[in-house]
Amino acid sequence: MRTATLFLLVSFLAAALTIPASAQPTSAVTDRPHHLMPVPSSVQRAEGRLAITREGTVAITGAAAADRRLRAAAERAIVRLERRTGIEFVTRGPVAEPAGAWLVVDVAAPGGALPALGDDESYSLTVTPTQARLSAPLVVGALRGLETVLQWVDGTGGAWGLDAVRIDDRPRFPWRGLMLDVARHWMPLDVVKRQLDGMAAVKLNVLHLHLTEDQGFRIETTRFPKLHQLGSDGLYFTQAQIREIVAYAADRGIRVVPEFDMPGHVTAWLVGHPELGSAPGPYTIERNWGIFDPAFDPTREALYPFLDRFFGEMVTLFPDAYLHIGGDENNGKHWNANPAITAFMKQRGFADAHALQAYFNQRVQKILQKHGKKMVGWDEVLHPDLPKDIVIHSWRGQKSLFEAARQGYSGILSNGWYIDLMQPTAQHYLVDPLPADSGLSEAEAARVLGGEATMWAEFVDPHTVDSRIWPRTAAIAERLWSPREVRDVGDMHRRLEAVSVQLEEHGLSHEAHTARMARRIAGARDTGALETLLGTVGPVKVYRRGQEFNKAYGRRPTQMTPLTRLVDAAIADPAATRAFTARVERLLGDPPAYDRDRDALRRTFDEWREAARALDRQADTRPLLHEARSLVADLGALADIGREALSRLGSGGGAGAAAWREASLARLKEAATPRVELEFGVIEPLQKLVEAAAR
């Protein structure tokens, strides 16, 4: 069902892709487009410009001037500015004296030593031709504002500086997160750190670490060392590394919310502690993907002291007020197969696994409460016996979130933001946790705290994860920060490109990804043809990758499957596909834009044809291309159909138009079949082109 929705949405979006705002004529300085992402609450340009020179200093004033986080953030910002501009500042560290400073950061109070839900993250930035002034009530607001300053710096007139402006800004939602699954595929420290830098750059403030899964237990415990020793293949965060992550995040105003998924998704726990399971075991680390039977046995009283001791250790590592217990996708099979458990359920009058899980959740919630933590869990945990301070994490969608809000529960949204499903940026961008027509009262609406992009890790590893998270997550970050009305897809894409390139400053490899993977696959530097192909295709969407893998290789993908094939080089939302779609729309538009776009499309089709020829040759010696040979052949076929359509267009269809139309549409349909887990993203505009040409 989701897939069908997707296709409708794509059609809609294709129509929405118009000329980017930057190309539209602007008359006044106040209309000049900017590259801020997320868009602030208010941006009012003024006349004039402030130059940045190497003599310029950054001053910190106000009651929080001595705050370590603030000074460290200012130093990082200065170094980033130096590296971006090539300017070597004479004075690098922040100074106390505002006179002569190009930037004054004025912060009224430090705020809490650690970021917390509901912190005042507001700030304002005023740039005049003589000075920029960033003001914030708390340090955390200044951190957000410093990112805006760095985005506002530009090279107008060939010289670095900031246009005069007044920006007032505050987030729409207080919980703006990225969930990173470090369990299905292990993600080491440096991967996490660079995501934190990227998150800070787009004003996200929660890193949700999915630390335990059937496929891996990824954190060191001193109380139960068999958990990480036997459940992780040696791939886990040491406690020192966890402390490093939490501190690194806090320095950037980001909370870290750990997730220990239970009572299902616990196979890796049970390898070292089978006595916690509902079946006798023994257990081994799961290597496949899916929903598995192993689960904690909620009827064993010994489970709760174990979890009490376990959480008692974990809370020393994670200072945030919230702790996520997952609670999703427990199939109940091992419960139903265990006579002791079914007897317990009968005795207690539990009708089904859901009721037993509710019992378990309540016990766990009390343990967390004892340790000073508020519980977060997926939709399934919602139950009237739980206190109102828990947070419902919704994979089901807004409806579920609103229902919880009406019942008095806070919630965050992830439905629509599953970035592992390889859907286009625009689709994620337009998802709103709280649309205008939510029907919620003000008090209920305030319980919708925000949301999280979720990076599930069946098909990503440390080498590909950046390309799956970024830049799409920046668009989600904008939805969570910016006013509801900010939803111009074309303008989002224009700004997203600038921000995406800036994100590389943090060592994120998303922009380098496709070319790097293409070199590996082609075994050569010249990857033009392969990049042309990769500009027209994307990985299959939603949950089809496993099936398509099976179709291609006759077996299931596992944790050990190398993620280095064409599908891993491809990205969810190639700019070339978007550009092609927009061009076809313009060409067929009203009024049609024949000349320029027709020529450009003709060149594109020539390029496809040439790429198909070159790749077919390369496939003789490159097996990872060889297995995609029919896809390559189809690229050539698409080129031929496109060229023919262009030549027929506007000529009343030409000879045999009906037969040609039918044959072409049939060929396009054939080409729409996924191969080696990839599918073309250009079929639909081509269909439209054929239809128009045959008319």
Catalytic residues: 329
Question: What secondary structure letter does DSSP report for 22?
Answer: G
Closest approach, Cβ 204 to a copy of itself, in A, equals 22
205 vs 514, which CB is nearer to a copy of itself?
Answer: 514
Q: Which residues pair with 206 in a beta bridge?
A: 177, 255
Closest approach, Cβ 453 to a copy of itself, in A, equals 22
Q: CA neighbours within 13 Å on the CB side: how many for 560? A: 5
Q: Which residue has the tokens 């009203």?
A: 590
Closest approach, Cβ 455 to a copy of itself, in A, equals 20
394 vs 618, which CB is nearer to a copy of itself?
Answer: 618
| Strand residue runs (E) in 294-337 | 322-324
Closest approach, Cβ 43 to a copy of itself, in A, equals 19
Q: What is the 3-state secondary structure (H, E, C) of 510-546?
A: HHHHHHHHHHHHHCCCCCHHHHHHHCCEEECCCCCHH
Closest approach, Cβ 85 to a copy of itself, in A, equals 7
Structure tokens at 680: 């073309």
Q: Could you give the residue ranges of the DSSP H alpha helices within 504-656?
A: 510-522, 528-534, 545-553, 566-569, 575-587, 594-618, 623-626, 629-648
2 vs 83, which CB is nearer to a copy of itself?
Answer: 83
| Cα distance from N-terminal residue to C-terminal residue, the chain | 32
Q: Which residues pair with 251 in a beta bridge?
A: none
Q: Could you tell me how far CA 559 lies from the centroid of its own chain?
A: 21
Closest approach, Cβ 159 to a copy of itself, in A, equals 6
Query: Which residues of this chain interact with a copy of itself, rule CB under 8 A?
Result: 82-88, 92, 154-160, 190, 497-498, 500-502, 504-505, 509, 511-512, 515-516, 519-520, 522-525, 558, 560-562, 564-565, 575, 619-626, 629
Q: CA neighbours within 13 Å on the CB side: how many for 592? A: 12
In angstroms, the CA 635 to CA 650 distance is: 24
Closest approach, Cβ 604 to a copy of itself, in A, equals 15
Closest approach, Cβ 623 to a copy of itself, in A, equals 4
113 vs 524, which CB is nearer to a copy of itself?
Answer: 524
Query: What does DSSP say about strands 123-127 and 132-138: parallel, antiparallel, or unpaired?
Result: antiparallel
Give the phi and the psi of residue 306 in degrees, each rounded to 5. -60, -50
Q: b/e map of 388-401 (b: 16 or more CB within 10 Å)?
A: eebbbbbbbebebb
63 vs 575, which CB is nearer to a copy of itself?
Answer: 575
In angstroms, the CA 582 to CA 285 distance is: 47
389 vs 616, which CB is nearer to a copy of itself?
Answer: 616
389 vs 511, which CB is nearer to a copy of itself?
Answer: 511
- Closest by CA position to 533, among listed 483, 570, 490: 570
Asked if 147 and 254 touch (Cβ cutoff 8 Å), the reply is: no
In angstroms, the CA 518 to CA 529 distance is: 10
370 vs 617, which CB is nearer to a copy of itself?
Answer: 617
348 vs 617, which CB is nearer to a copy of itself?
Answer: 617
535-538-541 Cα angle (round to 5): 160
- Assess whether the previous peptide bond of 129 is cis (omega < 30° from 0): no
- Closest by CA position to 264, among listed 303, 213, 226, 229: 213
Closest approach, Cβ 411 to a copy of itself, in A, equals 37
Closest approach, Cβ 565 to a copy of itself, in A, equals 5
Which residues have CB under 8 Å from 200's CB, separation 6+? Answer: 143, 147, 252, 253, 254
Question: What secondary structure letter does DSSP report for 669?
Answer: H
286 vs 320, which CB is nearer to a copy of itself?
Answer: 286
- Closest by CA position to 303, among listed 273, 334, 258: 273
Which residues have CB under 8 Å from 359's CB, separation 6+? Answer: 298, 348, 350
Please state whether 383 falls in left (phi above 0), alpha (psi between -120 and 50) or beta. Answer: beta
Closest approach, Cβ 573 to a copy of itself, in A, equals 13
DSSP string computed for 181-220: E-SSS---HHHHHHHHHHHHHTT--EEEEE-EETTEE-B-
Closest approach, Cβ 501 to a copy of itself, in A, equals 5
In angstroms, the CA 61 to CA 105 distance is: 6
100 vs 523, which CB is nearer to a copy of itself?
Answer: 523
**Dihedral through CA 457, CA 458, CA 464, CA 468, nearest 10?**
-60
495 vs 609, which CB is nearer to a copy of itself?
Answer: 495
